Amino acid sequence: MNDKKKILIVDDHEKVLDSYKEFLKDEKYLIEYFSSGGRAYQQFLSSPSEYVIAFIDYNLLPDDDLFSDGSELVRQLKKINEDLVVVIVSADTSEEAYKRWLEVDTDKVLYKPITKQKVVANIKSAFSKYIQENSLGQKVDNKDYAKLINMIGVSADFQRIAKSVLRYAEVDSDVLISGETGIGKELVAKAIHANSIRAKRGQFIAVNCSSFKGDSTLMESELFGHEKGSFTGAINQKAGVFEAAHGGTVFLDEIHHLGKDAQAKLLRALQEKKIKRVGSTKEFGVDFRLVCAGKPKLKELCRGNDPDFLPDLYFRISTLDLEISPLRERTEDIEPLLMHFKEMAENKFKIKKDFSSSTIRALKGHSWPGNVRELENLVERLYVEVEDRIIRKKHLPNDILESNSMSDAIINLDLETLEHLQREQVKRLILTALKNKGHNIKQAAIDLKVKRTTLNSRMKSLGIFDYGPDERNNLLKTLIDNFSSLRI
| Through-space distance between the first and last CA atoms of the chain, rounded to whole angstroms | 51
Confidence of residue 149 (pLDDT cuts 50, 70, 90): very high
The pLDDT of residue 247 is: 95
Q: What is the DSSP letter of 60?
A: P
What's the CATH number for 145-325?
Answer: 3.40.50.300
The pLDDT of residue 404 is: 63
Label residues 143-173 b or e (16+ Cβ within 10 Å = b): eebbeebebbbbbbbbbbbbbbbbbbbebbb
Residue 93: count of CB within 10 angstroms of its CB: 14
Task: Please state, in angstroms and rounded to a whole number, the distance separating the CA atoms of residues 270 and 290.
Answer: 9
Task: Please state, in angstroms and rounded to a whole number, the distance separating the CA atoms of residues 135 and 214.
Answer: 42
Which residue did the predictor score with more confidence, 20 or 219?
Answer: 20
Element (H, E) at 97: helix 95-103
pLDDT at 59 exceeding the cut of 80: yes
Query: What are the tens digits of pLDDT across the range 458-484?
Result: 888 888 887 888 888 888 887 776 665
Q: Which of 245, 235, 174 is nearest to 207 (CA)?
A: 245
Q: What is the mean pLDDT of residues 294-305?
A: 86
Q: What is the mean pLDDT of residues 282-304?
A: 89
pLDDT more than 90, % of the chain: 42
The pLDDT of residue 265 is: 85
30, 5 in Cβ contact below 8 A? yes
Q: What is the mean pLDDT of residues 77-97?
A: 89
Q: Residue 88 contacts by C-beta under 8 Å, 6 or more apart in sequence?
A: 56, 58, 70, 71, 74, 101, 106, 108, 109, 110
Task: Please state, in angstroms and rounded to a whole number, the distance separating the CA atoms of residues 51 and 276.
Answer: 44
The pLDDT of residue 3 is: 52
Average pLDDT, the chain: 86
Q: Residue 199 contacts by C-beta under 8 Å, 6 or more apart in sequence?
A: 193, 248
371, 180 in Cβ contact below 8 A? yes
Q: What is the mean pLDDT of residues 429-435?
A: 90
The pLDDT of residue 86 is: 94
Task: Please state, in angstroms and rounded to a whole number, the distance separating the CA atoms of residues 367 and 399.
Answer: 10
pLDDT at 417 exceeding the cut of 80: no
| CATH class of the region 328-404 | mainly alpha
| CATH class of the region 6-134 | alpha beta
Q: What is the mean pLDDT of residues 435-445?
A: 85
Q: What is the mean pLDDT of residues 250-264?
A: 89
The pLDDT of residue 487 is: 45
